[in-house]
Amino acid sequence: MRKIGQWGVIFDWDGVLVDSGPLHRKAWERLAAELGKPLERGQFEESFGRKNQWIIGHLLRWADSPEEVEALSRRKEELYRELVFRDGVRLLPGVLSFVEELAVRSIPRAIATSTPRENLVLGLKSLGLCRYFSCAVTAEDVSMGKPDPEIFLRAAKQIDLPAGRCVVIEDAPAGVEGARRAGMRVVAVTTTHPEEKLRNADKVIPSPACLPVEELEAWFG
């Protein structure tokens, strides 16, 4: 049962909880090499927060048919997981202490990510984070990717909170826009994009370590 005054936090995964950007970049570069396709400077950064289907079909224009787009998406994620198994993935600084404090205070937590569920589960298990997140919405769970608000609204429903009682932590403009469209507060971290591209957020910080939980509580007080 929801407590009176309860509020919750919805996290993106890549670039917010984990430093997976370099691994995703390598996976896209390897896929481009396999296909003999160009991967122009800046395209990787533009892809952050987006579903693979949009990246492959609209940003990179590597395929036209839904079947081919889906096949390339699966291959890219296979390459990513190979890199995770080989090199591992690490938490971003300050993340663990922030998440632990939320857990101690019994503040509901969810993940809303454009990454496939298999990637997320692999990361959660390898980093020992499963106990902190019982709710997650991934790429397979939504029909529209960010900046559509669907993924955030589904996450809020999973933690039994209205949109207006949720704060989203994001690292990409598409995610910030989606959270705004969902009617949620947004904190942006500058792990992937510079501050000027994240100014639509309520607050922009270098990492969750710079975000006192008391400040979030005051937003919903």
pLDDT score at 63? 84
- Residues 61, 114 share a domain: no
- Domain span holding position 51: 21-87
Q: Where are the alpha helices (DSSP H) in the chain?
A: 21-35, 43-47, 52-54, 66-87, 95-104, 117-127, 150-158, 173-181, 213-219
Please check whether residues 62 and 118 belong to one and the same domain.
no
121 shares a domain with 73: no
φ/ψ (deg, to 5) at 14? -65, 125
Same domain, 107 and 149: yes
188 contacts: CB under 8 Å, gap ≥ 6: 169, 170, 171, 176, 198, 201, 203, 204, 205
- Please give the pLDDT value at position 40: 77
Gap between the Cα atoms of 50 and 54, Å rounded: 7
pLDDT of residue 49: 63
- Three-class secondary structure of residue 1 per DSSP: coil
Tell me, yes or no, whether 149 and 96 share the same domain.
Answer: yes
What is the per-residue pLDDT for 50?
A: 75
Torsion 76-114-172-66 (CA) sign: positive
Q: Of 87, 114, 131, which closes a domain?
A: 87
The reply to whether 107 and 214 lie within a common domain is yes
Same domain, 67 and 169: no
In a domain, 3, yes or no: no
Spans in the chain with pLDDT lower than 50? none
| The pLDDT value given to residue 195 | 96
When divided into structural domains, the chain yields a total of 2
Residue 72 lies in a domain: yes
Amino acid at 31: L
Q: Identify the pLDDT of residue 1.
A: 54
Residues 105, 185 within the same domain: yes
pTM of the model: 0.86
- Domain end residue (candidates: 32, 56, 87): 87
